[in-house]
Amino acid sequence: MRIKISGVGEPVLRGKARPLTPEEIGSQRILDLIEHMRETLSDALGVGLAAPQIGEPLQLAIIEDKVAYHANISEADLAERERTPVPFHVLINPRIHLVSSPEVAFFEGCLSLPGFTGLVPRARRVLVEALDHRGQAVRVDATGWYARILQHEIDHLRGTLYIDHMWSRSFSSLENYSRHWKSKTTEELRQAFENIP
């Protein structure tokens, strides 16, 4: 069952999500919620979805960056973004540690802000400690695009959206991004947006 994704302006996207209790983790309700989130994410062609995005203020996120999503991206762009496929997994009550400073900027979008994008500086490497859908402890050491996805989704659990981190003057419709910015190098984008007052 595909669930409606909450759009920017919905209060649930700006509140802090609550941790799941040990009794909730592994319950049928949460397992069903994860499955519905997975179907919703797949239908939306996204790489991550946090429970607040479907109206549930819970510290729960899912991630999957499918091989198919890389088909129309050049090898050079995949390499620059350090983007490789990430298998489906669940993060419950995650804690994130930035191993590097947020200095790698790429355009980012969000299923809760469809049709727009902006340049967002993120840490290249992160460590995440969380529980999986069975309540087992997991530790993720991620770099590149995977680290970006983790930061984006865990931000949702804190009521933070990518627009809170982006270089505000880079905010663009997807149409204008494709027309004006998509073919620019990272250095050209930095020169265009990083130091503008």
Eight-class DSSP state of 134: T
Q: What is the DSSP string of 134-168?
A: TS-EEEEEEEHHHHHHHHHHHHHTTT--GGGTS-G
**Cα-based angle 155, 69, 103 (whole degrees, multiple of 5):** 40
Does 153 qualify as catalytic in the annotation? Answer: yes
**H/E element, 193:** helix 186-193
What's the Cα-to-Cα distance from 46 to each of 43, 97, 153, rounded to whole Å? 8, 24, 11
CA distance 129 to 119: 27
Which among 56, 64, 108, 153 is annotated as catalytic? 153
Only one residue has tokens 């905010």, namely 171
> In sequence order, what are the residues at sequence separation of 6 or more whose Cβ sits closer than 8 angstroms to the Cβ of residue 33?
51, 56, 60
Our separate counts of H helices and E strands in the chain read: 5, 8
Q: What positions carry a catalytic annotation?
A: 153
